[in-house]
């Protein structure tokens, strides 16, 4: 089972990370996710990490990377379902999730993504007026 | 990571099975799924099996059980993302997914669930007229 499924729900993609991510699998997830965003014209990516008991620097970097990559393509990324203990560990370890926005659950993550998407579109549509 | 996350998306619950299901984990998934349906008042459950390379009689029974249980509570279940080879194996092995409805992907599964939910409500609302 060397593949993390990417589920399309309307204009969003949902990824639930449940297995230990080794280098190759993480790289594959990045590739497939960016391809899927382009292919499905998704406006946002939701990454569920409620199964993860540990978020180390490797996972932190992966989440940052995915968020940066999808943002360049034009989609937002929200990480959902972080366990309280994981949040504590992240702060105590001094890990930085700079590019990553978080929400409590998928529904709230979707709401956040909709706000992000709308604000991006508004910023974009303002541009012609400024010229 | 001894837990399969159940994601709430609007009025539906999405479960993506990515790990090998042993007896205890399968039982836990059944329990949690039925509890979540009641707790969240979900109208449907989507089970993504796109990660599964094999669906044997054990998984088949699990899917049948979950579908039967959620139906009794009042929610529909649709299995999505089945690989072509898995479909072939299911037919060749003579496995019966009696209670389980299937769809190609999550979006189509949600559409199917909406039709199922609406037809159930209509059936229910017809009853008073027949008396």
What distance in Å separates residue B5's CA from the closest CA in chain A?
6
At B47, is the secondary structure helix, strand, or coil?
A: strand
Which residue on chain A is closest to B9 by alpha carbon?
A: A107
Structural domains of chain B sorted by starting position, each given as residue range(s) with its CATH number in brackets: 6-123 (3.30.750.24)
Per-residue DSSP letters for A25-59? HHHHHHHHHHHHHHHHT-SEEEEE-TT-S---HHH
* Interface check A110 vs B, CB under 8 A: yes
One pLDDT digit (tens) per residue for chain A, 131 residues: 578 999 999 999 999 999 888 889 999 999 999 999 999 999 999 999 999 998 888 899 999 999 999 999 989 999 999 999 999 988 988 888 887 899 999 999 999 999 988 887 777 655 454 44
Question: Contacts of residue A53 in chain B, CB cutoff 8 Å?
Answer: 1
The ipTM, to two decimals, is 0.79
* Interface check A78 vs B, CB under 8 A: no
Which residue on chain A is closest to B1 by alpha carbon?
A: A51
* CB half-sphere exposure, A26, CA atoms < 13 A: 13
B47 strand-pairing partners: B15, B79
What's the pTM? 0.85
């Amino acid at each position: 089972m060397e593949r993390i499924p990417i589920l399309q729900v309307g204009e969003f993609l949902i990824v639930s990370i449940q297995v230990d991510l080794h280098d190759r699998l993480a790289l594959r997830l990045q590739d497939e996710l960016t391809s899927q965003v382009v292919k499905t014209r998704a406006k946002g990516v939701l990454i569920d990490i409620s199964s993860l008991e540990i978020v180390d620097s490797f996972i932190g970097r992966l989440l940052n990377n995915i968020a940066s990559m999808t943002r360049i393509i034009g989609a937002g990324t929200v990480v959902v379902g972080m366990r309280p203990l994981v949040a504590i560990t992240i702060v105590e370890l001094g890990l930085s999730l700079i590019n990553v926005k978080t929400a409590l659950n998928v529904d709230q993550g979707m709401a956040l993504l909709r706000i992000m998407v709308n604000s991006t579109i508004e910023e974009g549509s303002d541009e012609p007026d400024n010229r």
